[in-house]
Structure 1
Amino acid sequence: MRRTLISLSLLIGLCACKTTEPLYYYGEYNQAVYSYFKSDELSQQEQIAALNQVIQKAASKGKAVPPGVHAQLGMLYFENGNQTLGEQHFMEEKQRFPESAQYIDFLLNAAKKGGQNETN
């Protein structure tokens, strides 16, 4: 009898749990990344605007930005010649997701070398 009551109370407790909400706010992030690789969906400026909107909406909803948003935005800024904003977003990605530091450093070095080759 006691075992049945414990099992029943556990079952009721599990059923009463609130469904978890998503950890991150994605917004149009997937569409922007798809467009980046597809090259004919959105212009780079539209992709930048979409990613900045994801960041702003996430902040307004009190949600975290998913991994990769700042890295993608950094790459777009580098490709558009804005090294300062590119570096800022790469550093933001590293700060938010320290496990990505090695990869972000690789991207940062590649982006800087690419920019040097274009100016020489």
Structure 2
Amino acid sequence: MNALPCMRRIAWVAAILALAGCANAPKPLYMWEGFPRQQYDVLLREGASPEAQIQAMEAHAEKARAANAALPPGFRAHLGMLHLATGNAGAARQMWQAEKVAFPESSAYIDSLLKRLDAGNQRASKGNPA
């Protein structure tokens, strides 16, 4: 009959350890917030204007910097697309290059965006003699 109190203690210790493990949830790798929803809204063409989205994303980036949190993959690339939609090709290029630095695995895609941007700039300069 001495085994029963010992088993109860083991059960209590196991329960306490299980609860302690749940108490310290790991910190998320990236600060996502509303970014996935924002991308979805853009694809549906139901989102806010590009200018308003840029403002919201820049606020998100500032919040992430303040929290010392990483921005998620694609964040800078998406922000670059929004800048391009507003006619700010320089800011688009800067955001795409930052995405490439933060996520080297995006290099092939980012390089293709930069190549298209450069091709568009060359066409525009040929059409508008200085």
TM-score normalised to structure 2 length: 0.73
Work out whether residues 24 and 64 of structure 1, in 8 Å CA contact, stay in contact via their aligned partners in 2.
Answer: yes
- Where does residue 118 of structure 2 map in the other structure? 112
Of the three residues 74, 82, 86, the one matched with 1:76 is 82
- Letter of the aligned partner of 2:65 in structure 1? A
Cα 1:11–1:77 change in 2 (3 A) is same
Q: Does 1:42 align with 2:42?
A: no
The equivalent of 1:21 in structure 2 is 27
Q: CA deviation at 1:111?
A: 2.8
Decide which structure has the larger Cα Rg and report it.
2
1:38-93 residue CA offsets vs partner (Å, 9 max, x unmatched): 22321111111121111111111111000001001111112221111111101110
Q: Distance in 1 between matches of 2:116 and 2:14?
A: 54
| Structure 1 residues 39 and 20, CA gap change in structure 2 (3 angstroms) | same
Normalised to the residue count of structure 1, the TM-score between the two structures is: 0.79
Task: Give the counterpart of 2:107 among 78, 97, 101.
Answer: 101
8 Å CA contact 1:75–1:111 kept in 2: the answer is: no
RMSD value, Cα: 2.5
Change (3 A) 1:13 1:112: farther
- Number of paired residues? 116
Structure 1 stretches of at least 4 aligned residues deviating more than 6 Å after TM superposition:
8-12
Unaligned runs of 5+ in 2: 1-10
User: Aligned AA for 1:83?
Assistant: A
* Identity between Structure 1 and Structure 2 (%): 33
Residue from 86, 94, 97 that aligns with 1:91:
97
Alpha-carbon separation, structure 1, partners of 2:97 and 2:115: 12
